């Protein structure tokens, strides 16, 4: 059967290539450790700082609009429309306005990070039992106190879930921001693309991609711990 | 409205979705028309004329749609049957395994998956872009198919078996129709991911509107960059809108 032998041959070659790549990727990571680690740290720090800005803005926006159905509808419509925009298009569009490097990266990451947080803040605050807020008002708490000590605490698991989704999203978008000379592991991926055909091109792209996957999984694990530690004892499951 | 635990461009509220159903296409038409008017009314130099003319804009848009279309066909053809198999009692054990792989896969950056596939396979063009993008956009449909089938009320399935339906008939006439709303929601998310990631197809010679963005940046011609970016945004918003329309009108009549 020529067909089946051809296939075996093809897969054998593929395995060898994969084998070589796997061996040398570890060597490559070893050699480039001093470059990859700072890039990974920059990647993580860009994503986490932008998530933080998006979280502050998103929760504020959510708190401002959650009492008005029209306001909530407009806020979620706007932020979900932003999320629909291809990140490469938005980053491209920001280059003529903000130049290269950190500014377009930060603006793009913060904008993309908003929707899940705004949406979950509104949903979370909406889901607070009115009987509880009434009771809080009844024992003499003011509006601001009810919001910070009762409503936001009860909505926190939902808000945190939104922040977590945002972080995961931004990990990937930050890689694309390297196109606009943004910091982080995307640099390796684009460098691999530019040098396609040269010895370490695949290793560069692989190191960058794996780095982002590892970062994303580690940070996601940290969120699980944060959610355990910061959820009010009364609603912990 | 439920809380978000995964990427989705649906706002999750009926009221908001109604607004978007009306406003989104209008914004797209106005935005794209205004940008094209602005671009064509400018004094374009030769490089700009080469990139921004009716023919090349149509080619790029068409290439973009081609990649997105192939991706979405691949996603549906792979994810829905896989989801069905993974909810059958004999294959249920494998479901968490596949979901874990798909979740880790989505943690990988789209650009990385695309570039790696390009470097490994040596392919370029439509398929070099469509295959990795399909892999990347698979998760929402797969997850929603599984969840959608799992949440079908067991008593309905048993009743259907009780009136003498065979298990394939139960699947096609009871379970899948009841799961359609969730599958469509996943499809919309996958569509948005596909069209968005297709802007990166230009990096592996797959064409598309990313080509204009890249050309505009490299040749330092802001007009080209802006036209490409606005067209890509318009297309994504339009496809998301189509997804929302499909979500609304394709669900079985009894569930509307």
pLDDT grade, residue B4 (50/70/90)?
Answer: low
How many Cβ atoms from other residues are within 10 Å of residue B98's Cβ?
18
Q: What is the DSSP string of B28-66?
A: HHHHHHHHHHHHHTS---HHHHHHSSHHHHHHHHHHHHH
Q: Which residues contact B202 (CB under 8 A, 6 or more apart)?
A: B208, B209, B210, B211, B213, B214
Which residue in B16, B110, B199 is closest to A172 by CB distance? B110
User: What CATH code is carried by the domain that includes residue A95?
Assistant: 1.10.3720.10
Lookup result for tokens 């009692």 = B89
* B-chain residue closest to A188, CA distance: B112
Which tokens belong to A122? 């509104």
Interface A:B, Cβ pairs < 8 A: 182
Q: What whole-number distance in Å separates Cα of residue A236 and Cα of residue A157?
A: 9
| pLDDT for residue B1 is more than 70 | no
Structure confidence at residue B43 as a pLDDT band (50, 70, 90): confident
HEC secondary structure over B4-22:
CCCCCCCCCCHHHHHHHHH
Judged by CB atoms closer than 8 Å, whether chains meet at B13 and A73 is answered as yes
Check B115 against A123: CB less than 8 A apart. Answer: no
Q: Which of A86-100, A179-193, B3-17 has the lowest mean pLDDT?
A: B3-17
**Minimum Cα–Cα distance from B120: chain A residue:** A202
**Residue B136, pLDDT score:** 86
- Candidate from A103-107, A197-201, B136-140, B154-158 with smallest mean pLDDT: A197-201
What local confidence, expressed as pLDDT, does residue A2 receive? 39
Distance, in angstroms, between B128 CA and closest chain A CA?
14
Contact B115 A189 (CB under 8 A): yes
pLDDT tens digits for range B127-136: 999 999 998 8
Q: Which two tokens stand for residue B127?
A: 């398929």
Q: What is the pLDDT of residue B16?
A: 79
Residue A60 lies in a domain: yes
Specify the number of domains making up chain A. Answer: 1
The confidence score (pLDDT) of residue A10 equals 40
Length of chain B: 256
Please report where in the chains the tokens 């879930």 appear, as a residue: A161
Residue A22 lies in a domain: no
Predicted confidence at residue B3, as pLDDT, reads: 58
Nearest chain B alpha carbon to A164: B5
B6-31 pLDDT tens trace: 777 777 677 778 888 888 899 999 99
A11 found inside a domain: no
Higher pLDDT, B162 or B12: B162
Domain for residue A220, yes or no?
A: yes
Whether the pLDDT of residue A23 is over 50: the answer is: no
Q: What is the ipTM of this complex?
A: 0.87
Write out the two tokens for A221.
Answer: 């694990």
Look at the block and give the residue holding tokens 């979740």.
B103
pLDDT for residue A28: 86
User: How many other β-carbons are positioned within 10 Å of the β-carbon of residue B150?
Assistant: 16
Burial of B198 (C-beta count, 10 Å sphere; 0-12/13-18/19+): buried
- Could you list the residue range(s) of the whole structural domain that residue A55 is in? 35-235
Q: Provide mean pLDDT across the span A163-169.
A: 93
Interchain pair B119, A201: CB under 8 A: yes
- Say if B32 is an interface residue toward chain A (CB within 8 Å): no
In contact, B165 and B93? CB cutoff 8 Å = no
Residue of A nearest to B196 (CA): A86
Q: Scan residues 198-227 of B and list those with Cβ closer than 8 Å to A.
A: 198-200, 203, 209-210, 213, 216-217, 222, 225-226
Q: Which of A81, A111, A207 to mutate to test the interface with B (most CBs of B within 10 A)?
A: A81
Closest CA to A177 of A99, A83, A82, A101: A101
Q: Which residue, A171, A209, A215, is CA-closest to A190?
A: A209
- Residue B93, pLDDT above cutoff 70: yes
In this predicted structure, what is the pLDDT of residue B211? 94
Rounded to the nearest angstrom, the minimum Cα separation between A161 and chain B is: 6
Within-domain flag for A19: no
Taken in order of first residue, the domains within chain B and their CATH numbers are 14-255 (1.10.3720.10)
């Amino acid at each position: 059967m020529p067909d089946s032998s051809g296939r075996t041959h093809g897969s054998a070659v593929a395995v060898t290539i994969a084998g070589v790549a796997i061996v040398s990727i570890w060597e490559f990571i070893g050699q480039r450790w001093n470059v990859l680690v700072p890039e990974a740290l920059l990647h993580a720090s860009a994503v986490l700082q932008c998530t933080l800005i998006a979280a502050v803005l998103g929760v504020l926006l959510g708190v401002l609009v959650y009492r008005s159905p029209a306001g909530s509808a407009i806020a979620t419509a706007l932020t979900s429309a932003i999320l629909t925009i291809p990140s490469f298009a938005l980053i491209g569009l920001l280059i003529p306005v903000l130049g290269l490097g950190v500014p377009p990266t930060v603006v793009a990451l913060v904008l993309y990070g908003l929707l899940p947080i705004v949406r979950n803040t509104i949903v979370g605050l909406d889901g607070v039992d009115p009987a509880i807020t009434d009771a809080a008002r009844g024992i003499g708490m003011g509006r601001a106190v009810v919001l910070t000590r009762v409503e936001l605490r009860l909505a926190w698991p939902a808000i945190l879930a939104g922040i977590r989704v945002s972080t995961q999203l931004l990990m990937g978008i930050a890689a694309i921001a390297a196109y606009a000379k943004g910091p982080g592991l995307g640099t390796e991926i684009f460098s691999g693309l530019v040098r396609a055909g040269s010895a370490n091109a695949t290793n560069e792209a692989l190191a960058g991609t794996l780095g982002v996957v590892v970062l994303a999984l580690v940070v996601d694990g940290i969120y699980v711990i944060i959610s355990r530690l910061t959820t009010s004892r009364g609603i912990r499951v | 409205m439920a809380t978000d635990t995964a990427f989705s461009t649906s706002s999750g509220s009926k009221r908001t979705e109604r607004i978007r159903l009306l406003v989104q296409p209008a914004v797209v038409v106005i935005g794209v028309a205004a940008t094209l008017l602005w671009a064509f009314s400018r004094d374009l130099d030769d490089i700009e004329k080469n990139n921004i003319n009716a023919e090349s804009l149509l080619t790029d848009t068409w290439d973009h749609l081609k990649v997105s279309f192939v991706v979405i066909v691949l996603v549906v053809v792979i994810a829905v049957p896989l989801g069905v198999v993974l909810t059958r009692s004999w294959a249920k054990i494998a479901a968490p395994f596949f979901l874990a792989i798909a979740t880790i896969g989505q943690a990988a950056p789209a650009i990385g998956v695309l570039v790696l596939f390009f470097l490994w396979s040596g392919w370029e063009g439509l398929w070099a872009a469509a295959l990795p993008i399909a892999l990347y956009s698979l998760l929402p449909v797969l997850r929603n198919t599984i969840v959608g089938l799992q949440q079908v009320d067991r008593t309905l399935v048993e009743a259907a078996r009780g009136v003498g339906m065979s298990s394939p008939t139960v699947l096609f006439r009871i379970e899948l129709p009841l799961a359609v709303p969730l599958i469509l929601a996943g499809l919309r998310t996958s569509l948005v991911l596909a069209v968005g990631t297709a802007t990166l197809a230009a990096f592996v010679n797959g064409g598309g509107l990313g080509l204009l963005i890249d050309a505009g940046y490299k040749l330092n011609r802001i007009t080209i960059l802006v036209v490409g970016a606005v067209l890509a945004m318009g297309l994504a918003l339009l496809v998301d809108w189509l997804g929302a329309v499909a979500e609304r009108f394709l669900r079985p009549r009894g569930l509307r």
